[in-house]
Amino acid sequence: MELLNKVSVITGGTSGIGKATVLRFVEEGAKVVYCGRRSDKGLELQKEIEAAGYPGKALFFNCDVSNEDEVKAMADFVKSKFGNCEVLFNNAGIHQAGKLHETKPADWDRIMNIDLRGAYLVCYYFLPQMLEKKYGTIINMSSVSGLLGDTEMVAYNTAKGAITNMTRCMALDYATDGIRVNAVCPGITRSEIVENTFTSVQGAEEKFKQAYPVHYIAEAVEIANAVVFLASRKCDFINGVNLPIDGGITAHTGQPYMGNY
């Protein structure tokens, strides 16, 4: 088991990639505290894990990562239950479409407060635990949209672009403290939000499939498996990496295929 007894924190852990990662971590023997804003879904997952008899343990903590007091309380909770955090997966996030002039200041602030400031706050309150232990690994949730631009996604892409560079800076700052910092940058991945898009926008799923070289949509567990790898001691020399998990879409220049001409 790759994460046996590793004290781990996963934000946004009640659905999608976060939930898949919680399940993979307890499969690998970790002691996990995962958070979310929906207590019903969080406690439902906790009961599911307890009933399944995984080798690891998991506890739900109700927390909005944009609320500093709640994040601080979560850090105290983790330390009291399991000890100092060793693995942190900053996964919580939301997105909203729109050009800049269509994005109201309140919506811009909401994206930044959860996707960017939330990641900052969680790191701010858990890094002291890692520094005390002289060991830790942080995996931030960026996106292919944090590496390249998308049409009409300016707020989300701005937040994820900031996460991408925050990851690099943190990796440099804490490398001599035994703390590694990397990020995963998924492409299109099945989740509640994505499935709602596929349902509400006719032809959306097929368009996404055609846009990706592999011509399929990733499952959440595929991203979770990469997070497990980055959290393990098998890759202690990987630091400061923003890892695309994107079916090859960022490998392409975007220029059209002309066929045999």
Residues 203-224 have pLDDT tens digits of: 999 999 999 999 999 999 999 9
CATH 3.40.50.11720 fits 7-188+219-249, yes or no: no
**Among the residues of the chain, which ranges form H helices?**
16-27, 39-52, 68-81, 105-111, 118-133, 154-174, 192-200, 204-211, 220-231
**Close Cβ partners of 67 (under 8 Å, ≥ 6 residues apart):** none
| Residue 260 pLDDT level (bands cut at 50, 70, 90) | confident
Question: Is residue 176 exposed (0-12), middle (13-18) or buried (19+ Cβ within 10 Å)?
Answer: exposed
* Rounded Cα distance, 101 and 10, in Å: 34
* Rounded Cα distance, 245 and 41, in Å: 27
User: Are 33 and 61 within 8 A, CB to CB?
Assistant: yes
Phi, psi of 211 (to 5 degrees): -75, -25
Mean pLDDT value across the chain: 96
**Taking the model in full, what pTM does it have?**
0.96
pLDDT tens for 126-158 read 999 999 999 999 999 999 999 999 999 999 999
Average pLDDT over residues 122-129: 98
* Rounded Cα distance, 26 and 13, in Å: 12
Residue type, position 60, single letter: F
Structure tokens at 70: 């709640």
pLDDT tens for 66-114 read 999 999 999 999 999 999 999 999 999 999 899 999 999 999 999 999 9
Active site residues: 156
